[in-house]
Structure 1
Amino acid sequence: MSGPRIVVIGGGAAGLMAAGRAAERGARVILVEKNQTLGAKLLLSGKGRCNLTSAEEDLETFLSAYGSKGKFLYSAFSRFGPARTLEFFASRGLRTKVERGKRVFPEKGGSERVINCLIGYIRQGGVTVYRNREALNLEIRDGRAVRFILRGQEVEGDAFIVCTGGKSFPKTGSTGDGYRFAKRAGHEVIQPVPALCPVRLKEKWPQSARGLNLKNVSLTLLKDGIVVSRRFGELLLTHFGISGPIAMDMSRDIGEACTSGNATLILDLKPALTMDVLTARIERDLKKYAGKMFRDCLKDLLPRDLIPAVVEKATIPPDKRGEYISPEEKRELACLLKEFPLTPEGLLGFDWSIVTSGGVDLREIDPGTMRSKIVENLYFAGEILDIDGPTGGYNLQMCWSTGYAAGDSAASSACLES
């Protein structure tokens, strides 16, 4: 081959897509991976099932999930968005299915099938893969990247794409190496913090209810008494506190609130019911179980493992018989179920976070090409960028889209220059 040489650092979702697309455009591609295995973190996606994108069809709605930074992805998504992603994997024999919340998963095989598709893609393009090669430094000369210094060798190229991920799940190799390369190139790196991360609570009762999945509940975060965020969906109780989609999606805000203010979480166990309707429901249950103690009157209203925590928090004596519970106590119980307080102590940290919030400042990256505005032949893609989304396939879609844009642009620009 006589095309330009593109060096991709990082063999995860973004790196594999970038390498495959650059090779497809005729470049000679070297993919450098510090592990023996490609896609190590991808194997963990969706607990091994790999939630590879969302079936949300409206682009504006999709981008809004990333918050104010979503507009940065408009060009990359227009070039290679969710529909193109599904077409890409379908063309390689991967059938998908849409589940609750528009989450898209492989019909069979999970993460391994997805990785095999991507490995097939880079093999088809003749990509050279260096495994067990850690990138140590980036050499820049006269405003251009010249070579990467690897452990034991150097690798030169016409263009370089950094896809090293963030700092989440460091055991997979995501140890923040790319931030060092970005700073070496003169880039600002927004402080990386855990996102989509389980939350530690001060309360100890969740330990006795660990494994309980609460569906159709609402969680509200207050910082210094002011509502910061609210989510509706599923919440998982764990031995350390809470996890599950709504806690994970809110975790970045929870972490910030814990470090800079007085953070409180309010759990609404019955968000579909108004106070009046819920109070009437409690009244019916107490009549139904007349003669039983309060703690035995809640089995139709709450999951069994949650009842002890509610009884402990309520002002009603646990052995008080249902028929003697006053209207005021019934109202107080309804209020407790609508506003059950939780006290967050912080996040579990990068070892447990699914993604990293923070990274290379988006103001220094061209959104159409993923090219650095500081070093002309340097590109960034994937989690290393300062953008992240909620659970549901949004973060992998960001990797597919930015990886494709970087690979496509690096190959075409290097071809013009060579």
Structure 2
Amino acid sequence: MKQCDLIVIGGGAAGLLAAGTAARHGAQVMLLEKNPRMARKVMITGKGRCNVTNDCTEEVFLQHVCSNSKFLFGPIHQFPPQRMMSLLEELGVPLKVERGNRVFPLSDKAVDIVDALVAFAKNAGVCFEQKQVDRLLISDQTIQGVHCDDDTVFFAPKVLIATGGKSYPLTGSTGDGYQLAQQAGHTIIPPRPSLIPVETQEEWCRECMGLSLKNVTLTLWEKGKKKPVYTELGEMLFTHFGISGPLVLTASTYLKKDLSVYHMEIDLKPALDAQQLEQRILRDFEKNQNRDFFNSLSELLPRKLIPVMVRLSSIPPTQKVHQITKGQRENLCRLIKHLPLTP
């Protein structure tokens, strides 16, 4: 079919849903995807499990959009998380809700989501072609269709660009959509990285490479602001270049170009306030009063983090626990509650 009502460029989740929905409403739809497989990025989301959506209200969903949430108000109102969940259940993909209202397929397999979306589009009558669109066909400021890199031409009065961004070129997200949109007269705002690991200036992060922290709070501060830009309880990990993990990926969306105005803090014991933490440390010190300070922290901190915390605390590693002063103990408490990091 070289002539149709709608051409959808891109076979990811958005393209498959858009194409299938339009076809269900009677449109003749052609979906063009340059990769041999559909939705390659969906396959790797959620560590291969595919975190589909969050089971929450529209209001709560928009509260967690870090910038320009008004832009999403219409789409989320038209297609809230519950509709996405209902659709997948109808397509034969049972779901489950995990901590933080995160929704996954019951099978923990992203491929089940991909197969369901492809079937949704195919069963609705969408035609598929493996083609790479290189330009739009526009005449008298009216869309006529698309031209592909093998000189194939498809005609349609409407074209939907669903190519994704340029976040993961290996999956096909190479930024094609920006160039196509620009051909249609749209202004392109240069994209910036988001949902990425963060490099830190602290050398000690390398010593902790591979260490995963659970149930910690990560807080991002910006100079001149009294309230944190971001704070959340969850999981993170140390890498050879800095930090990564769910908390860090989310925090990265709040970072702008000038990183010098930001600093981060990790609360290693968020379940305890400062007074409760000091009491906990006192109990540990009481049990280990004749030990060296370095050997007294095994029940309080992860093994990889102990040398770092000892060094940052400025308490001599061989100082006997019963010789540690109140001031030194308070400094240790502050360090555990406010471990600093610099992006």
Question: Is the CA contact (8 Å cut-off) linking 2:4 and 2:30 kept in structure 1?
Answer: no
Q: Report the residue type matching 2:257 in the other structure.
A: E
Correspondence for 1:289: 288
For normalisation by structure 1, the TM-score amounts to: 0.77
Correspondence for 2:38: 38
Deviation per CA, 1:179-238, whole angstroms, max 9, x where unpaired?
Answer: 111111111222201111111112232333223221222222233364433232222222
The 5-angstrom pairing of residues 106-125 of structure 1 reads: 106-108=105-107, 110-125=109-124
The 5-angstrom pairing of residues 214-363 of structure 1 reads: 214-224=213-223, 226=225, 227-258=228-259, 261-344=260-343
Q: Report the residue type matching 1:278 in the other structure.
A: L
Correspondence for 1:137: 135
Change in CA separation of 1:225 and 1:323 when aligned onto 2, cut-off 3 Å = farther
Task: Indicate the SS of the match to 2:189.
Answer: strand
Deviation, structure 1 residue 33: 0.7
Unaligned runs of 5+ in 1: 345-418
The alignment of Structure 1 onto Structure 2 pairs a total of residues equal to 339
Deviation, structure 1 residue 151: 0.8
Distance 1:40 1:220 in 2: 32
Confirm or deny that 1:12 pairs with 2:8: no
Distance 2:170 2:256 in 1: 22
Deviation, structure 1 residue 12: 0.4
Q: Report the residue type matching 2:233 in the other structure.
A: F
Q: Report the residue type matching 1:128 in the other structure.
A: C
Q: Report the residue type matching 2:38 in the other structure.
A: L
Q: Structure 1 stretch 137-146 or stretch 291-300: which is displaced more?
A: 137-146
Distance 1:118 1:99 in 2: 22
Q: Report the residue type matching 1:104 in the other structure.
A: V
Identity across the alignment (%): 41
Distance 1:322 1:64 in 2: 46
For normalisation by structure 2, the TM-score amounts to: 0.93
Question: Is the CA contact (8 Å cut-off) linking 1:223 and 1:257 kept in structure 2?
Answer: no
Deviation per CA, 1:130-179, whole angstroms, max 9, x where unpaired?
Answer: 11x21111122222211211111121112110001011111111111111
Question: Is the CA contact (8 Å cut-off) linking 2:50 and 2:108 kept in structure 1?
Answer: no
Q: Report the residue type matching 2:109 in the other structure.
A: G
Correspondence for 1:170: 169
Q: Report the residue type matching 1:9 in the other structure.
A: I
Distance 2:257 2:217 in 1: 20
Q: Report the residue type matching 1:146 in the other structure.
A: Q
Question: Is the CA contact (8 Å cut-off) linking 2:66 and 2:254 kept in structure 1?
Answer: no
Question: Is the CA contact (8 Å cut-off) linking 1:29 and 1:127 kept in structure 2?
Answer: yes
Correspondence for 1:386: none
Correspondence for 1:101: 100
Distance 1:69 1:110 in 2: 32
Unaligned runs of 5+ in 2: none
Q: Report the residue type matching 1:135 in the other structure.
A: V
Question: Is the CA contact (8 Å cut-off) linking 2:145 and 2:158 kept in structure 1?
Answer: no
Deviation, structure 1 residue 248: 0.8
Deviation per CA, 1:259-282, whole angstroms, max 9, x where unpaired?
Answer: xx3332222212232222222221
Question: Is the CA contact (8 Å cut-off) linking 2:4 and 2:155 kept in structure 1?
Answer: no
Q: Report the residue type matching 1:59 in the other structure.
A: E
Correspondence for 1:179: 178
Change in CA separation of 1:228 and 1:90 when aligned onto 2, cut-off 3 Å = closer
Across the aligned residues of Structure 1 and Structure 2, the Cα RMSD in angstroms comes to: 1.8
Deviation, structure 1 residue 77: 2.5
Question: Is the CA contact (8 Å cut-off) linking 1:228 and 1:253 kept in structure 2?
Answer: yes
Q: Report the residue type matching 2:135 in the other structure.
A: N
Correspondence for 1:77: 76
Query: Deviation above 4 Å: which 4+ runs of structure 1?
Result: none
Deviation, structure 1 residue 302: 0.8
Deviation per CA, 1:299-341, whole angstroms, max 9, x where unpaired?
Answer: 1111112111111111100111111111111011111111211
Task: Indicate the SS of the match to 2:68.
Answer: helix
Deviation, structure 1 residue 255: 4.8
